[in-house]
Amino acid sequence: MKRLAAMGFLVCAAVVSGYMLGAARDGTPITAAMVSHAEQVIGLEFSAAERDSMLEDLEEYLASYETIRGFAVDNAVPPALAFNPVPAGARFEARQRKIRLSSVKKPERPGNLEDLAFCSVRELGELLRTRKVTSAELTTMYLERLKKHGPALQCVITLTEERALRHARQADSEIAAGRYRGPLHGIPYGAKDLLAVRGYKTTWGAAPYKDQMIDQDATVIAKLDEAGAVLVAKLTMGALAWGDVWYGGTTRNPWNLDQGSSGSSAGSASATAAGLVAFAIGTETWGSIISPSTRCGVTGLRPTYGRVSRTGAMALSWSMDKIGPICRTVEDCAIVFDAIRGPDGLDQTVVDLPFNYAAALDPGEMRVGYVPELFAEDYPSRGADSTSLEILRALGVDLVPIKLPEYPVESLAFILNAEAAAAFDELTRSGRDDLMVRQVKHAWPNVFRASRFIPAVEYIQANRVRHMIIQEMEKLDAEVYVAPSFGGDNLLLTNLTGHPCVVLPNGFDEEGSPLSISFIGKLYGEATLLAVAKTFQDATDFHLRHPEAFRARHADQGE
């Protein structure tokens, strides 16, 4: 029965029926009775005459499906239909200006280099620029920490040590020769293991792909190479971008090793929070930057859909996948985002629009919204979130109440499932989905199978409703709005519409686990969004707190 469900086909040009496909494959023709059974799956009812009339078409559809399945379609191949998040008539800034970072305190080289483990990218960059430390020293320090703490956190899939040390030595030579590339030059970082890196495995966190080699560098990796950053590790991810369970275990939260680190950018958030890398690259389809950043107490940026090329990245949902940085500060996110954004001539969804970030911001000049009903709900982090609103008001922000579009957002979630099932069609049909670690009801193998029964017509209808929501979101009277990170439908809604989000720590619960607040910006409005979020972060110190178990131990403290 599993095989039949996994190899189903579309009924009435839309829904898959495993029973019907099984019959057709052994030579039995499709019958009106089979169609009648399939009607129950799609919630429709046809007359006997209507069923009889469609039989010939269904046979032709089935033959077409079988023909298409005869062609090898790699996960990297996108559908010809591309999602466009731009509302009708929208206009965006076209002129690129030089980004303006905040001033940075001139750091000094510490006696113990490991004391730099939790420094921001901005601080580390200044140490490298002034040649108070070398990239080789930083890279070696982070590699040692990855080797020491990675096993406990289960956050590392592959160390890229040889590549890292080679790039670090190159960075040191260039900086010494006066060829400084910018604030990422010589900075060690980690990448979620769905990004291809030539010469290293790209496992997607899943047993069926644990030995996979992809002979290319993902565009994000290539852009960071160009900026002079140094890749030290490929970090864990939930298998095929679901949760924190990968083929080797469960990635841990540095604040509480009894907890998983959540999301699917699990290793990226965990390693950053534990000071094993200076920053990391994650991805989000529906919460995979927001959730682990919250759990691990770090700052994450989910950029606007179409801001960062996904070339060389595992596809899960072509209309929802986004790549962004996970860092220790908002401004670090701005620095990394500036390096990875922009077209590459390959990912056709990427737009070429400016990023005019300026750290200095007059909060009183900004129109910042908030969603009153979400903050009024009874939820665990309500106290910290209410305090966050008061901090914003104390900074001079005039918070404007807004109302999000009222649409059946949760009912659109199957858009992701349909696209994911297509992305891993071959995995399902081959039966290799049995190799996946998680086989429970709410895990990819079952979701992929069930998604074969999503009617094509309903998938298109859902995307038409999605288009309507995009138009309504453009009417919100705020440049940025603040919301509980998991309040209502906001997280799914803004992933469906492609809006950018910054998530940052705003407190701790009674058990000492981090909490977060989310800021959502206009489409392609990352510059303003990051500036507003930075204003809030600068008024707090939650991002400056780090898990005690992963701090450097000095000689007088022992191990």
Catalytic residues: 192, 264, 288
Give the DSSP letter of residue 213.
Answer: B
Which residue in this structure is represented by tokens 């730099």?
Answer: 116
Maximum CA pair distance of the chain?
87
189: number of Cβ within 10 Å: 27
Burial 485-512 (b: 16+ CB within 10 A, else e): bbbbbbbbbbbbbbbbbbbbbbbbeeee
**What residues contact 143, with CB distance under 8 A and at least 6 apart?**
159, 161, 164, 188, 232
Which residue in this structure is represented by tokens 């972060």?
Answer: 537
Region class of 533: left (phi > 0), else alpha (psi between -120 and 50), else beta: alpha
State how far the Cα of 193 lies from the Cα of 407, in Å rounded to an integer.
Answer: 35
**What residues contact 524, with CB distance under 8 A and at least 6 apart?**
92, 93, 304, 307, 351, 353, 500
Both tokens of residue 178? 């006066």
Which residue in this structure is represented by tokens 């059974």?
Answer: 37
Long-range contacts of 97-106 (CB under 8 A, 24+ apart): 97/354, 97/356, 99/334, 99/338, 99/355, 99/356, 99/357, 99/358, 99/527, 100/357, 100/358, 100/359, 100/360, 101/183, 101/331, 101/334, 101/335, 101/357, 101/359, 102/331, 102/359, 102/360, 102/534, 106/130
